[in-house]
A and B are shown apart, each in its own frame.
Chain A
Amino acid sequence: MGGVTAILKKELADHFTSYRFLFLFALIAMVSLITAYMAGVNISTQLVDVAKPRFVFLMLFTSSGIGFSFVQFVAFFGPLIGLILGFDTINRERNEGTLSKLLSQPIYRDSIINGKFLAGVAIIAILLTSILLTVAGIGLLMIGVIPGIEEVFRLFIYLIISITYISFWLGAAILFSIIFRNVSTSALAALAAWVFFSFFVSLGANAVANALTTDTTISSSEAQMTRAKIRKAVSLISPMELYSDSTITIVDPMRRTTKSMVQMGWMEQLSITRFSGPLPLGQSILVVFPYITTLIAITFICFGISYAVFMRQEIRSV
Chain B
Amino acid sequence: METGAVIETHNLTKAYKGQTAVDNLSFDVQEGEIFGFLGPNGAGKTTTLLMLLGLTEPTSGSAKVIGIDPCREPVKVKRLIGYLPENMGFYRDLNAWETLRFIAELNEIPRSEADGRIESALKTVGIYKEAEKKVGAFSRGMRQRLGIAEVLIKRPKAAFLDEPTLGLDPDTTNRIIELIEFLARERRMTVLLSSHFLHHVQKICHRVGIMIKGRMVAQGPLSQLAEEKLGVGQESYTLEEIYLKYFQEE
Q: When chains A and B are docked, how far (Å) is the Cα of A96 from the Cα of B93?
A: 13
B221 within 8 Å of A (CB atoms): no
Q: Is the CB of A106 within 8 A of B76?
A: yes
Q: Is the CB of A315 within 8 A of B88?
A: no
Stretch in contact with the other chain, from B49-57, B122-130, B234-242: B49-57
Known: A101-B88, A104-B78, A104-B85. A315 touches B106 (CB 8 A): no
B56 CB to nearest A CB, Å: 7
**Contact pick for A317, options B56, B78, B86, B103, CB 8 Å:** B86
Q: When chains A and B are docked, how far (Å) is the Cα of A318 from the Cα of B50?
A: 13
Chain A: interface size category:
20 to 34
A269 within 8 Å of B (CB atoms): no
Chain B residues near A14 (CB-CB < 8 A) = 93
Chain B: interface size category:
20 to 34
B179 CB to nearest A CB, Å: 19
Stretch in contact with the other chain, from A5-13, A142-150, A202-210: A5-13
Q: Is the CB of A317 within 8 A of B87?
A: yes
Q: Is the CB of B88 within 8 A of A5?
A: no
A93-B89, A100-B55 provided; 18 other pairs, C-beta below 8 A? A2-B107, A5-B105, A6-B102, A96-B92, A97-B90, A98-B90, A99-B89, A100-B85, A100-B89, A101-B88, A105-B106, A106-B75, A106-B76, A106-B108, A108-B75, A315-B56, A317-B87, A318-B86
B150 within 8 Å of A (CB atoms): yes
A3 within 8 Å of B (CB atoms): yes
**Contact pick for B93, options A17, A107, A316, CB 8 Å:** A17
Give a binary string over B78-105; 1 marks a CB under 8 Å from any A CB, 0 the rest. Answer: 1100010111111111000000001101
Chain A residues near B103 (CB-CB < 8 A) = 105
**Contact pick for A106, options B87, B89, B91, B107, CB 8 Å:** B107
Nearest residue (CB) in A for B55 is A315
Q: When chains A and B are docked, how far (Å) is the Cα of A97 from the Cα of B147?
A: 12
Known: A9-B105, A10-B102, A100-B88. A107 touches B55 (CB 8 A): no
Q: When chains A and B are docked, how far (Å) is the Cα of A102 from the Cα of B76?
A: 15
A26 within 8 Å of B (CB atoms): no
Interface residues of chain A: helix, strand, loop or mixed (majority): helix
The 4 closest A-B pairs by CB, nearest first: A97-B89, A6-B105, A106-B79, A104-B83
A314 within 8 Å of B (CB atoms): yes
Known: A14-B93, A17-B93, A315-B55. A105 touches B87 (CB 8 A): no
Known: A6-B102, A105-B78. A314 touches B56 (CB 8 A): yes
Q: Is the CB of A317 within 8 A of B89?
A: yes
14 pairs of residues in contact across A and B, judged by CB atoms under 8 Å: A2-B106, A3-B106, A5-B105, A6-B106, A9-B105, A10-B102, A96-B92, A97-B85, A98-B90, A99-B89, A100-B88, A104-B78, A107-B78, A317-B86
Q: When chains A and B are docked, how far (Å) is the Cα of A316 from the Cα of B56?
A: 9
Q: When chains A and B are docked, how far (Å) is the Cα of A2 from the Cα of B108?
A: 6
**Contact pick for A98, options B46, B53, B56, B91, CB 8 Å:** B91
Nearest residue (CB) in A for B151 is A104
A3 CB to nearest B CB, Å: 6
Give a binary string over A88-116; 1 marks a CB under 8 Å from any B CB, 0 the rest. Answer: 00000100111111111111100000000
Known: A6-B106, A14-B93, A97-B85. A107 touches B53 (CB 8 A): no
Nearest residue (CB) in B for A92 is B89
Chain B residues near A107 (CB-CB < 8 A) = 75, 78, 106
Chain B residues near A100 (CB-CB < 8 A) = 55, 85, 88-89
Nearest residue (CB) in A for B79 is A106
Scan residues 34-78 of chain B and give those whose CB is less than 8 A from a CB of chain A.
46, 50, 53, 55-56, 75-76, 78
Q: Is the CB of A315 within 8 A of B89?
A: no
Nearest residue (CB) in A for B46 is A316
Chain B residues near A17 (CB-CB < 8 A) = 93
A39 CB to nearest B CB, Å: 39
B41 CB to nearest A CB, Å: 11
Q: Is the CB of B107 within 8 A of A105?
A: yes
Known: A101-B150, A103-B55. A317 touches B105 (CB 8 A): no
